[in-house]
Amino acid sequence: MNTKKNLLLDIKDLKVHFNIAAKSAWPWAKPLKLKAVDGVDIRLYEGETLGVVGESGCGKSTFARAVIGLVEATDGNVVWLGQDLTKLPHNALREKRKEIQMIFQDPLASLNPRMTVGEIIAEPLKTFFPELSEDDVKGQVKQMMTKVGLLPNVINRYPHEFSGGQCQRIGIARALILKPKMIICDEPVSALDVSIQAQVVNLLKELQKEMGLSLVFIAHDLSVVKHISDRVLVMYLGNAVEMGESEALFAEPKHPYTRALMSAVPIPDPELERNKTIQLLEGELPSPINPPTGCVFRTRCPQATEACAQQKPSLKGDDVHAVACLNV
């Protein structure tokens, strides 16, 4: 990683645990602890895109919401431009939302159906800059709509009158209207058609270059992640198992879980696609309420040893490539 770039976000040992009521006849039974995120370390630099991948239930979305403060962190530090967001009072954290915004997975569900497009995009401006006149707000909204590929003359329409891709553009405009430094994209293209996915991803790349944005891009589609990301974080059961520069990680994945994920990525060449070997994972995904001891992946790992049950590996390496495995 280029050390000349400014460090924006430094996350250290982030944990998000939830108390779940135990299924017991005894009312005094202790609640169970669900470890949604269990110790993740990352750094994000100015103008960089960090992709976050992993199967459903691995803690990607919870991790994203903990970073922005929508979910309270149980432990760890989220340091944004030198300030630990986990230690800030509510009002101070609310002010930081101007610098960190989020784009959600379901484009239509994330928009208020009773508000017009103009009202939806203008809401952050009116919240943080109440001194702005109606004309100033409307002018900025129209300018942002044009920037994300929406015609300004649809400003008075409602979300249900738009397609999924257009609704996501509205969500992007709402996130960008405050000119933030970082956008967290929580699976922003998973609910869209493939052709529309490409349009939204390319739009995000153009806006990132134009506005100097940093992105945390969460997705299931590894092809999309490879296309947009500078570095990639691989999560499994709330833990970071591998992280590195996109090109290095996709060319030579080191963790057995990452290799299994990469083997499922389609290859454009029909001959190579027919002859490739897919590494299937055996067993079921363990419950985050009762994760395996030591390495959380050991119950499905083809190269697990006795030591894997005793010691929990941590990420070892640098920003170029780091892996959490005792056998690498």
Residues of the chain with CATH 3.40.50.300: 7-21+30-99+180-196+203-323
Say whether pLDDT at 131 is over 90: yes
Say whether pLDDT at 24 is over 70: no
Spell 106-121 as b/e; 16+ CB within 10 A means b.
bbbebbeeeebbbbbb
What is d(CA 258, CA 320) in angstroms, rounded to the nearest whole number? 16
What is d(CA 303, CA 281) in angstroms, rounded to the nearest whole number? 12
Banded model confidence at residue 29, pLDDT cuts 50, 70, 90: confident
If we measure between CA atoms, which residue out of 303, 300, 166, 310 comes closest to residue 237? 300
Q: Of the ranges 257-261, 267-271, 300-304, which one carries the lowest mean pLDDT score?
A: 267-271
pLDDT digits (tens, 9 = 90+) for 139-168: 999 999 999 999 999 999 999 999 989 999
Contacts of 221 (CB under 8 A, 6+ apart): 189, 190, 197
DSSP assignment string, 236-280: ETTEEEEEEEHHHHHHS--SHHHHHHHHTS--SSHHHHHH----P
Does the domain at residues 7-21+30-99+180-196+203-323 carry the CATH identifier 3.40.50.300?
yes
Higher pLDDT residue, 241 or 317? 241
Question: What is the residue type of 75?
Answer: D
Q: Which residues pair with 306 in a beta bridge?
A: none
Say whether pLDDT at 196 is over 90: no
Q: Of the ranges 15-24, 157-166, 295-304, which one carries the lowest mean pLDDT score?
A: 15-24
Higher pLDDT residue, 178 or 23? 178
What is d(CA 129, CA 108) in angstroms, rounded to the nearest whole number? 26
Q: Of the ranges 62-66, 153-157, 190-194, which one carries the lowest mean pLDDT score?
A: 190-194
Banded model confidence at residue 1, pLDDT cuts 50, 70, 90: very low
pLDDT digits (tens, 9 = 90+) for 227-262: 899 999 999 999 999 999 998 898 899 999 999 988
13 and 76 Cβ atoms separated by less than 8 Å:
yes
pLDDT of residue 76: 95
Give the tokens for residue 25: 């006849």
Higher pLDDT residue, 199 or 191? 199
Q: How far is CA 162 from CA 108, 117, 123, 168, 189, in A?
A: 9, 10, 19, 10, 16
Instruction: Determine the average pLDDT of the residues in 283-300.
Output: 90
What is d(CA 194, CA 307) in angstroms, rounded to the nearest whole number? 43
